[in-house]
Structure 1
Amino acid sequence: MGIIGWIILGLIAGAIAKAILPGRQGGGWIITLVLGVVGALLGGFLASAIFGVAMGGFFDIRTWVIAILGSIVVLLIYGLVTRGSRSRA
């Protein structure tokens, strides 16, 4: 799958991760979608490097699960990092 496919997958995975996560992470939808792309790329890299999971095509369920889980992890980390900055403002 090419980089354009990963970007599209990441945008969709970021939106799904935002819908799954409870509470407010802040940053709005644009930040969420960018973090979704980062999460999809990170999830794909970690799945292939650590677990040896071969990435499928765009419509493969493994690819979607890994991208969504990666997006959730990145959104959680972003929420933890920005939580302190919102309370000081």
Structure 2
Amino acid sequence: MGLLYALLIGALAGWLAGKIMKGGGFGVLLNIILGIVGGIVGNWLFGTLGINIGSGVIGDLLTGVIGAVVLLFVASLFKK
């Protein structure tokens, strides 16, 4: 059940990050991967800064979206 939860939250987080970054999405599969990795990056980033977004689905989704947006931003720097 944990894997399904991570995939669903990751897919939604990757899709939302693609919408926020205006065309930064890479398709369904890569958006899922981006959202999952974004969740990891977000957890690390917020843990380092001492920020607590919250718990539950909304907290996980916000963490994944913010982490995925950071990843898309960094990727856009290398595209140029």
Fold-level match, TM-score > 0.5? Answer: yes
| CA gap 1:68/1:21 in 2 versus in 1, 3 angstroms | same
Runs of 4+ in 1 over 3 A off after TM superposition: none
**C-alpha RMSD of matched pairs (Å):** 2.4
Tell me the alpha carbon deviations over residues 35-61 of structure 1, each in whole angstroms, 9 at most, x when there is no partner.
Answer: 22111111023223431527512x2x3
Q: Which amino acid aligns with 1:10?
A: G
* Percentage of matched positions with identical amino acids: 24
Q: Which has the higher helix share?
A: 2
**Aligned residue pairs: how many?**
78
Q: Indicate whether 1:68 and 2:65 are aligned.
A: yes
Aligned to 1:13: 13
Q: Using structure 1 for the length normalisation, give the TM-score.
A: 0.66
Structure 1 pair 48/3, CA: closer, same or farther in 2 (3 Å)?
farther
Please give the TM-score of this superposition, normalised by the length of structure 2.
Answer: 0.71
Q: 5+ unaligned residues in a row in structure 2: which ranges?
A: none
2:8 matched to 1:36? no
The structure with the larger Rg is 1
Q: Which amino acid aligns with 1:50?
A: L
- Deviation digits for residues 32-85 of structure 1, max 9, x if unmatched? 33122111111023223431527512x2x332222111111111112222x14x
